[in-house]
Structure 1
Amino acid sequence: MTDINDTQRSGIEIRNLYKIFGPTPERYIDAVKAGMTKEELNDKHNHVLGLRDISLSLPPGKISVIMGLSGSGKSTLIRHINGLIAPTAGEILYGGQDVVTMGTQELRAFRRATTAMVFQKFGLLPHRTVLENTCYGLDVQGLPRSKVEPIARKWIDRVGLSGFEDNYPAQLSGGMQQRVGLARALANDVDILLMDEAFSALDPLIRMDMQKVLLELQDELQKTVVFITHDLDEALRLGDTIALLRDGGLEQVGSGQDIVLRPANDYIAEFVREVNRGRVIRADRIARPLAEGEAPPAFKVEGSKVLERVAREMVAAGVENATVTDRKGVDIGVIESAAILSAIVTPTELAS
């Protein structure tokens, strides 16, 4: 675990962010703020609205997932965080500094020392070996190879690629190449990891394996991760917080449970309609308080476990109810099989 307390670290604060693509975006920012639609901006002025009034807090030490369909603005948003794209209006604050106002030298230092990016297409240098690719970010900083290589080898080992140090990217599978990309980012020891559709090009089983690798590393390292995806299942598995974008605007922000159980509008409701709720909703979310004088069931489950797992444990134990505990083992309520079924089945399914 990192020895930096989250209260001593900075999250990322995005405030009233707008992005208009075109030759003279500043001419139309007031019209967009007044309500001009994306279609109107394009049809009348041949400019494209990328982001509209995005205000978002990305907490330190957590995985924040930005998701949406193609064209929603998610990749545009992540590229604002490290200054690859400049906004038409708005602020991006980290550690009390506005990334938007940074000069060239300051921005270069911020990218090298504070952020690292993991790309969908891996972004590896084909003429460099696994070891050399992992060293790249530290090489750019001018550190001696005698110091860089032990760091690189450590992270190559941590992502499961020991023995492949001398291989070139073309000799690796897609999943292995992405492990190199992750090792390269971690070798820089930065606080912020920006992951833009990092696992989208991978086969489903390899993709799930990489998600597991990320979660295991994050449990120890507690980086501030901004993860872009169009896949809801991936967002629900990875995200401490999920922000859903649509046509450049923010539709809803919350935990996976919040979004599945309380969609903000019809668009979000349709988005999450086919979600396996048993893999999202946790036991502590539906646990009821013990009634006065009620003896707690002998069988216990941890409240942080999802309902699908709890149901399996209860079936294996042959019980219809269980005591739900917090992480310290303190009783916080009771859960019944009927309540699990009601929570897993959507209202539409219940009605039918």
Structure 2
Amino acid sequence: MNDDDPAAAAPDPAEGLTLQCRHVWKLFGARADEALRDLGDGATAEAIVARGLVPAVRDVNLSVRRGEIFVIMGLSGSGKSTLVRLMSRLIEPTAGEILFNGQNLLTASDKEMVEMRRHKMGMVFQHFALLPHLSVLGNVAFPLEVQGVARAEREARARKMIALVGLAGREEALPRQLSGGQQQRVGIARSLAVEPELWFLDEPFSALDPLIRREMQDEFIRLQSVLKKTIVFITHDFDEAIRLADRIAIMKDGEIVQQGTPEELVLNPATDYVREFTQAVPKAKVVRAESVMVAAEGAATATVGARTVIADAAPLFLDGAEAVAVTDAGGAVVGHLRRADVTRLLMGG
């Protein structure tokens, strides 16, 4: 079920859309495009398999807004990694449209796509793929060298990115001298060095130990607060998804079965499959203050952002406060969060 169908309307510049997929399909096998045309509305997974084809991505519609973290998640084999490669045209779709800032990428030449990936898209994958003979500085500066950027400029920009990911002082280290988490930071710095407008991350932390993974998630949240990139993030871990995402699309058998905010998915799962994903998630970890607040009355000694989740706001009530003020992005008070409502959510209500 695709509940966000961008094919129904032209891109709305006011909405700040960066990337759109319109009825995107990817079938693996001979003469896949002919089979898809023949099947038409009857292109079910079973009918496609009966033709000897593999349905990797089926009729995907989604929109990624400028500056948001859009997480695509699902179990292994759900099609999420194939979809992110279709978005960057590392593999070609069987049918559909992929628009980047209003331009259909499927009409771009190979040369145009190479330039777009070099200058406007950043990519980080599960395997770090660092060049073993180059230092941290050399690895981070490498994509700028490919672009033809002068040495002084590329090294200055690389040093800035290395500092940004917390590796200042390790510029001359080789990859083998770094921990897994540090190597992943180098991969992130390298992809950021080209100052991408759109950033793809395909399970970048899944190979890391749990503690390092949590640390990298914290680092990722910090980086996004500074850089405000448009991000497509792939994961199979729902806890990671709800921690990082502005919105989530859940995939199963090549289809998007539901998409929305973490709060929407947890509170209103559309299918049994989504319900299984979300049933163990405490509501207080996804429900935001703006969803629970009431009209402001009287004074409040503490404040919390409207988008803060209840689990993070709860400690403000430890001193006995009955209400805290909820503020918007500009700092204006838009309501009050009450102790009784927070307690009810924490208790599973």
Sort the Cα spacing of 1:319 and 1:82 in 2 relative to 1 into closer, same or farther, 3 A.
same
Sort the Cα spacing of 1:121 and 1:90 in 2 relative to 1 into closer, same or farther, 3 A.
same
Q: Which amino acid aligns with 2:127?
A: K
Residue 221 (structure 1) aligns with? 227
Residue 4 (structure 2) aligns with? none
Distance 1:235 1:8 in 2: 23
Q: Shift in Å at residue 61 of structure 1?
A: 1.3
- Cα pair 1:63 1:224 within 8 Å, conserved: yes
Residue 337 (structure 1) aligns with? 339
Unaligned 5+ residue runs, structure 2?
Answer: 1-12
Residue 309 (structure 2) aligns with? 306
Distance 1:200 1:32 in 2: 37
- Cα pair 1:156 1:162 within 8 Å, conserved: yes
Mean CA deviation greater in 181-190 or 255-264: 255-264
Is 2:21 aligned against 1:19? Answer: no
Secondary structure at the counterpart of residue 77 of structure 2? coil
Residue 198 (structure 1) aligns with? 204
Distance 1:288 1:310 in 2: 15
Aligned residue among 142, 146, 153 for 1:136: 142
Residue 107 (structure 2) aligns with? 101
Q: Which amino acid aligns with 2:240?
A: E
Residue 160 (structure 1) aligns with? 166
Distance 1:56 1:282 in 2: 24
Is 2:157 aligned against 1:151? Answer: yes
Residue 251 (structure 1) aligns with? 257
Distance 1:8 1:306 in 2: 24
- Cα pair 2:300 2:323 within 8 Å, conserved: no
Distance 2:14 2:159 in 1: 31
- The alignment of Structure 1 onto Structure 2 pairs a total of residues equal to 336
- Cα pair 1:17 1:55 within 8 Å, conserved: yes
Sort the Cα spacing of 1:8 and 1:50 in 2 relative to 1 into closer, same or farther, 3 A.
closer
Is 2:37 aligned against 1:34? Answer: no
Distance 1:288 1:198 in 2: 39
Is 2:290 aligned against 1:284? Answer: yes
Residue 74 (structure 1) aligns with? 80
Sort the Cα spacing of 1:52 and 1:33 in 2 relative to 1 into closer, same or farther, 3 A.
farther
Distance 1:331 1:97 in 2: 40
Secondary structure at the counterpart of residue 171 of structure 2? coil
Q: Shift in Å at residue 9 of structure 1?
A: 6.2
Secondary structure at the counterpart of residue 227 of structure 1? strand
- Cα pair 2:64 2:70 within 8 Å, conserved: yes
- Give the CA RMSD over aligned residues: 2.0
Q: TM-score, normalised by structure 1?
A: 0.90
Unaligned 5+ residue runs, structure 1?
Answer: 1-5
Aligned-pair identity in percent equals 43
Matches within 5 A, 1:81-96: 81-96=87-102
Q: Which amino acid aligns with 2:239?
A: D
- Cα pair 2:24 2:57 within 8 Å, conserved: yes
Mean CA deviation greater in 100-109 or 181-190: 100-109
Q: Shift in Å at residue 304 of structure 1?
A: 2.6
- Cα pair 2:21 2:99 within 8 Å, conserved: yes
Deviations 1:51-88 (A, max 9, x none): 11111000111111111111111101100121101100
Secondary structure at the counterpart of residue 131 of structure 2? coil
Q: After TM superposition, which residue ranges in structure 1, 4 or more long, deviate above 6 angstroms?
A: none
Q: Shift in Å at residue 104 of structure 1?
A: 1.3
- Cα pair 1:296 1:334 within 8 Å, conserved: no
Aligned residue among 39, 60, 79 for 2:66: 60
Secondary structure at the counterpart of residue 42 of structure 2? coil
- Cα pair 1:16 1:53 within 8 Å, conserved: yes
Distance 1:8 1:152 in 2: 33
Q: TM-score, normalised by structure 2?
A: 0.90
